[in-house]
Amino acid sequence: MLRSRLVQHTTITRLPWRRMYATASSSPNTPIFQVFNRDAKRRQKDRAAMDVESSRTVDYLKDEVAARVADRLADIKRDFHTVVDLGSGCGHIVKHLSKDNMKKLIMCDMSEQALKRDMDQHYPVQVERKVVDEEYLPFKEDSLEAVVSSMSMHWVNDLPGALIQVRKALQPDGVFVGAILGGDTLFELRTSLQLAETERESGVSPHVSPMTDSSDIARLLSRAGFVLTTVDVDEIQVNYPSMFELMDDLKAMGENNAVLTRRPMLHRDTLMAAAAIYKELHGNPDGTIPATFEIIYMIGWKPSASTPQPKKRGSATTSMKDVLEN
């Protein structure tokens, strides 16, 4: 049975949950900080995609974010022959592309089941599917015109290394357009579970994955070698009947917890307490509960000979003082 959901934009200010990263000098193939269990995440995505009807029901969030990523790509006044979609899932971005400026999309995902789910669908551009782990890209250096990624790279352990691999695979003046979940995502769920677990079990464990914030992304893009970078943040709030429908939808999306140190399960009385706390602290007047998804959008370009460069220090012929006085 379909549940009613309201998608709207809100602004919420709170301290983000900060995430640690490997240094930019580390090898892209050897993540220093193993935060996520990648095998568990692949299995979660496989199971979600195999339940075709349920997973299609919860495509609403990924489809919405993918549409915004596709809009940003369309704003680039350039014709692309082939674009790579990293972490494509079942094909959220391809639904929103136009054959007017693109011929082919290579959908790449670690989940073979996700890639197979919608093979019977018809899209406006030619599609090729590849099983690819975002942490280990198979593409040759200087071989890609553009790379897009939506709602996937927040599960990568070595995000700096992954971005370096993307930049290396791009042709000079190639572009990367991406979107990941930010640190304020699901803060309502996180705080409710922490309070309930502290009260009932005298301790807490991570039940919502740690994520990054926009200032981290801007630095990571620069450290990975991208130029002319752009980062902006949006928030999508979805209303659910209760915390349990939210958790069911996250599981059906393949977005359930994959932190290595996660506890296998919570006791039923802890979950019931968390649901009550969620409604008390964050509930809407109509009895529903909001879930906030912070989306960080990013654009970065691979340098080329034609990339605009800043002038050398001291090369100006007019002083700022004279400009301001006039």
Which residue ranges make up each domain of the chain?
7-325
Q: Tokens 């000079």 correspond to what residue?
A: 172
Helix ranges restricted to H, the chain: 38-50, 52-57, 60-74, 112-117, 159-169, 187-201, 214-223, 243-253, 268-282, 320-325
- Residues with Cβ within 8 Å of 247's Cβ and at least 6 positions away in sequence, in order, are 189, 256
Instruction: Summarize pLDDT for 217-275 with one digit per residue, the tens.
Output: 999 999 999 999 999 999 999 999 999 999 999 999 999 887 766 666 778 999 999 99
> What CATH number labels 7-325?
3.40.50.150
Q: How confident is the model at residue 206 (pLDDT cuts 50, 70, 90)?
A: low
DSSP state of 4: P
Euclidean distance between CA atoms 166 and 47, whole angstroms: 28
Task: Find the radius of gyration of the CA atoms of the chain.
Answer: 21
Structure tokens at 240: 């659910």
Give the max Cα distance, the chain.
Answer: 72
The whole-number average pLDDT for the span 26-38 is 62
- Residues with Cβ within 8 Å of 292's Cβ and at least 6 positions away in sequence, in order, are 10, 12, 184, 185, 186, 187, 188, 235, 236, 237
The whole-number average pLDDT for the span 52-81 is 96
Q: Are 157 and 36 in contact (CB under 8 A)?
A: yes
Whether 9 shows a pLDDT value over 90: the answer reads no
Whether 12 shows a pLDDT value over 80: the answer reads no
The whole-number average pLDDT for the span 203-208 is 56
Q: Are 65 and 151 in contact (CB under 8 A)?
A: yes
Angle, alpha carbons 100-98-144 (nearest 5°): 85
User: What size, in residues, is the chain?
Assistant: 326
Closest CA to 8 of 179, 187, 239, 255: 239
Instruction: Summarize pLDDT for 236-248 with one digit per residue, the tens.
Output: 999 999 999 999 9
Any idea which of 26-30, 134-138, 254-258 has the lowest mean pLDDT? 26-30
State the chain's mean pLDDT as an integer: 86
pLDDT of residue 201: 72
Whether 323 shows a pLDDT value over 90: the answer reads no
pTM over 0.85: no
Q: Are 289 and 239 in contact (CB under 8 A)?
A: yes
How many whole angstroms from its chain centre is CA 87? 9
